[in-house]
Amino acid sequence: MPEDLHHIALPPHRTWHRGGDRPVLALHCSLAHAGAWSGLAAALHGVTITATDAPGHGRAADWVPGTDMHALATAQSIAMAESLGQGAPIDLMGHSFGGTIALRIAVERPDLVRSLTLVEPVIFAAARAVDAPAYADFRASHMGFADKVAAGDLAGAAAEFHSHWGSGEALADLPERTRAYMIDRIHLIVAQNPALLEDAGAILRPGGLEAVDVPVLLIEGADSPTIIDRIHRALALRLPQASRLVVPGAGHMVSITHAAQIAPMVQAHLDGC
C-alpha cells in the first residue's frame, strides 16, 4: 500500500450497540452507504458494529479521479480496524466491493482480523482460476458497461448495472433520491475495475489467501450472477477455513433483502470464532 495512504483519518461511520463490546467493522457495497447494514445489525447481538462510508459514498469525500480508490478504501478501513481493535484483531464483514476490502485487509494485515463474513466479494479476477471462459465472458460484458459510462450514458449504465446487481426492481422504480444517488456515482464502478478485474491490489497473490487462517463465511444469493459462484468456488479452494452459505431466492443484495434470514448463520459464525 502506498506510504501516503498509511496514516489517514477515520472515514465517516455509524455504530450499532448490540449488547456487547466485541467490535465488528462492516464495509458496504458500491452505490450504497454505511446505513446498508442497518437490517443485519439489528438482528445480531453481543457485538458493537461500526459501518463506514467508502470513498465517494454517503458522507465521505468525493473520490478523486486518477487515484487508486481500492487502496484508499483499504487504508481507511485499516485505520478504522486499528482504532476499533486497539491492538487486538476484530471481526470484519464486507458486501461486494466492501467484501474485497475486507479480504485485502486479511491478506495485508492478518493481525487485525479475527473472522471474515464476506457477502459476494466481487474480486472478479479470482474466477479465472476455476472457469476462465466464464471470467472472459463476464469481463467483456462488464467492459461494455464501462463503455456506456465513458460515453456519458450514466442513466443507461446505472440501469444496466442495477439489473444485474440490484435487489430485483428496475432502476426506474426506485425512489428518485435513490436513483439520482446511484446515477451520480456510477462512474465509481468503473474506477474499481483495475482492482476487481485485474487484481491490482494483489489480493490473489501466491500464498496470500492460504495464509488467511481465520474462519470465513462466504454468503451468496442463489439467484446472483453466475460469476459469483465462480468467485466463491475459487476463494473456498484457497482459504483454509472457508464455508459457503447459499440463500435461496436471493440475489446480490442478500445481506439487505434477506438480512433476517442470514442473521442466525452470521451470529453462529461470530459466536464460533
Question: Does domain 3-128+199-271 fall into CATH 3.20.20.70?
Answer: no
Q: How far apart are CA 35 and CA 24, in angstroms?
A: 15
Q: How far apart are CA 106 and CA 102, in angstroms?
A: 6
Going by C-beta distance under 8 Å and a sequence separation of 6 or more, which residues neighbour residue 229?
Answer: 220
Task: Give mean pLDDT, residues 211-222.
Answer: 98
Per-residue model confidence (pLDDT) at position 5: 43
Amino acid letter, 132: A
Task: Give mean pLDDT, residues 164-191.
Answer: 96
What pTM was computed for the model?
Answer: 0.96
Q: Inform me whether the pLDDT recorded for 272 exceeds 90.
A: yes
Three-class secondary structure assignment of 213-272 = CCCEEEEEECCCCHHHHHHHHHHHHHCCCEEEEEECCCCCCHHHHCHHHHHHHHHHHHHC
Per-residue model confidence (pLDDT) at position 7: 62
Per-residue model confidence (pLDDT) at position 87: 92
Q: Which three cell numbers stand for residue 128?
A: 479465472
Q: How many CB atoms lie within 10 A of CB 150?
A: 12
Q: How far apart are CA 227 and CA 125, in angstroms?
A: 10
Q: Inform me whether the pLDDT recorded for 1 exceeds 50.
A: no
Per-residue model confidence (pLDDT) at position 4: 43
The string of pLDDT tens digits covering residues 128-147 is 999 999 999 999 999 999 99
Q: Inform me whether the pLDDT recorded for 269 exceeds 60.
A: yes
Task: Give mean pLDDT, residues 214-233.
Answer: 98
In percent, the amount of the chain with pLDDT more than 90 equals 96
In percent, the amount of the chain with pLDDT more than 70 equals 97
The string of pLDDT tens digits covering residues 6-41 is 467 899 999 999 999 999 999 999 999 999 999 999
Long-range contacts of 207-213 (CB under 8 A, 24+ apart): 208/107, 209/103, 209/107, 209/235, 209/238, 209/239, 210/238, 210/239, 210/240, 211/107, 211/110, 212/103, 212/106, 212/107, 212/110, 212/113, 212/116, 212/239, 212/240, 213/110, 213/240, 213/241
Per-residue model confidence (pLDDT) at position 8: 77
In sign, the C-alpha dihedral spanning 261, 262, 268, 271 is negative
Per-residue model confidence (pLDDT) at position 9: 84
Per-residue model confidence (pLDDT) at position 3: 38
Computed over every residue of the chain, the mean pLDDT equals 96
Structure-model confidence comparison of residues 108 and 168, the more confident one: 108
Q: Which three cell numbers stand for residue 81?
A: 480496524
Three-class secondary structure assignment of 94-134 = EECHHHHHHHHHHHHCHHHEEEEEEECCCCHHHHHHCCHHH
Q: How far apart are CA 160 and CA 170, in angstroms?
A: 9
Q: Inform me whether the pLDDT recorded for 160 exceeds 60.
A: yes
Going by C-beta distance under 8 Å and a sequence separation of 6 or more, which residues neighbour residue 44?
Answer: 18, 24, 263, 266, 267, 270
Q: How far is CA 133 from CA 32, 47, 95, in A?
A: 30, 42, 25
Going by C-beta distance under 8 Å and a sequence separation of 6 or more, which residues neighbour residue 29?
Answer: 36, 95, 96, 97, 98, 252, 253
